[in-house]
Amino acid sequence: MKREAYLERDTKYEIMLTKDTAICIRALDYSETSQIATFFARETGKISAIAKGSKRPKSYGPIEVFSYGKIVVSVPAGEKLATLTEFDQQSNFSALAGNLFVLHCASFAAELVNLLTNDYDPNPQLFDSFLQFLQNINESQLTSHEPRVTSHELSSLILFQLSLLKEIGLQPILNACANCKTRHERRDKFTLSEVEGSDEFYFSSSANGLICRDCEANFPDKIGLSNSAADCLGNLKLLVDADEKTLDEVEKILVHHFTEILHRPPKMAKHILKS
C-alpha cells in the first residue's frame, strides 16, 4: 500500500531498488531463459518479478518454489512487475520434495499466502510464520528415518493456516461460541468418551468460528464437529497429539472455510484431504 502511494508521487521513469529477504511462492517460465517469480518478502510483502536469464548457466537461478534468500529487485515507477537483479539463495528446503504429501502441504500454504495477500503489502509476522512452517516440515523430513506418518505435517499446516488467518485480520473465534460467547467447556481425556453428545459444537464460516448448540439453528452453513476436533480447535496445544482422523476433520473444516473466504476451493486442497 505504502509503496504504491510512493510510486505515484514519483516521476514516471524512476526506478526503486528494494533489498529484502524473500521466499519464492510461485515460479513460471517466461521464455527459454527467463522466469517470472512471485516472492513473499519479509519487509515488502508480495512481489512479482521477471528474472531475466535466470535459466542460463552461471545465473542466480533457475528459481524454484520455496527457494529462500536475499533478493534485490528494481521496481519501475507505476508498474507492478519488478525486475529481479540479485538473488542470493540460502536454501530451497530441498527435503520437501522427498515426500509428496509434505510438498503438497507446503504448496498449499504457498497458494494461500499468494491468494490472501496483496502486492507490496508487508506482513513480517506472516513471513516469519511461513518461514517457520517450511523449516519445521523440512527439518522433520531430514531427521526422520521411517516412512512418515503425516500427522506432524498436517498439524503444522493447520497451525500455519490459523496463524495466516490471524495475520490477515480474519482470526476465527475458537475458544467460545462466536455468537453468544459461551465458553467451550473442555473436558479431560478420561471423560471425553463418557459425555458423548453433551457440549456439542459446530463450525460456521459465516460466524467466523465455533457455534454452540443453542445458536446453531441461526447458522445454516454450520458443520458439526466431533468432540475431539472441537477440543483441538479450542485448545491448539492438543493438535500436536491429535490422531490423524481428528487432524483430517480439522483440516477439512479449514479448507471449507478458505473456500468460503476465497469463493472457490484452493487448488491444492484436494491433495491434502483424505476424503
Footprint on this chain of Zn ion (rule: CB under 5 A): 177, 179-180, 212, 215
Query: In angstroms, what is the minimal distance from the CB of 221 to Zn ion?
Result: 15
Task: Closer to Zn ion by CB, 96 or 177: give it.
Answer: 177
Task: Closer to Zn ion by CB, 41 or 215: give it.
Answer: 215
Query: In angstroms, what is the minimal distance from the CB of 50 to Zn ion?
Result: 51
Q: Which residues are bridge partners to 22 per DSSP?
A: 41, 69
Task: Closer to Zn ion by CB, 28 or 180: give it.
Answer: 180
Task: Closer to Zn ion by CB, 74 or 206: give it.
Answer: 206
Query: In angstroms, what is the minimal distance from the CB of 222 to Zn ion?
Result: 11
Task: Closer to Zn ion by CB, 98 or 224: give it.
Answer: 224
* Placement of cell 542470493 in the chain: 88
Query: In angstroms, what is the minimal distance from the CB of 215 to Zn ion?
Result: 3
DSSP letters along 67-116, please? -EEEEEEEEETT-S-EEEEEEEEEE--GGGGGSHHHHHHHHHHHHHHHHH
**What does the alpha-carbon distance between residue 59 and residue 81 come to, in Å, rounded to a whole number?**
20
Alpha helices in the chain (DSSP H): 2-9, 100-116, 124-143, 151-167, 189-192, 227-234, 244-262, 269-272
Query: In angstroms, what is the minimal distance from the CB of 183 to Zn ion?
Result: 10
Task: Closer to Zn ion by CB, 180 or 273: give it.
Answer: 180
Task: Closer to Zn ion by CB, 210 or 272: give it.
Answer: 210
Query: In angstroms, what is the minimal distance from the CB of 209 to Zn ion?
Result: 10
CB atoms within 10 A of CB 164: 23
Task: Closer to Zn ion by CB, 54 or 179: give it.
Answer: 179
**What does the alpha-carbon distance between residue 135 and residue 26 come to, in Å, rounded to a whole number?**
18
Using the 8-state DSSP alphabet, how is residue 52 labeled? T
Query: In angstroms, what is the minimal distance from the CB of 258 to Zn ion?
Result: 23
Is residue 51 a contact partner of residue 61, using CB atoms and an 8 Å limit?
Answer: yes
**What does the alpha-carbon distance between residue 112 and residue 104 come to, in Å, rounded to a whole number?**
12
Q: What value does the CA radius of gyration of the chain take, rounded to a whole number of Å?
A: 21
**What does the alpha-carbon distance between residue 44 and residue 124 come to, in Å, rounded to a whole number?**
8
**What does the alpha-carbon distance between residue 29 and residue 200 come to, in Å, rounded to a whole number?**
50
Query: In angstroms, what is the minimal distance from the CB of 85 to Zn ion?
Result: 55
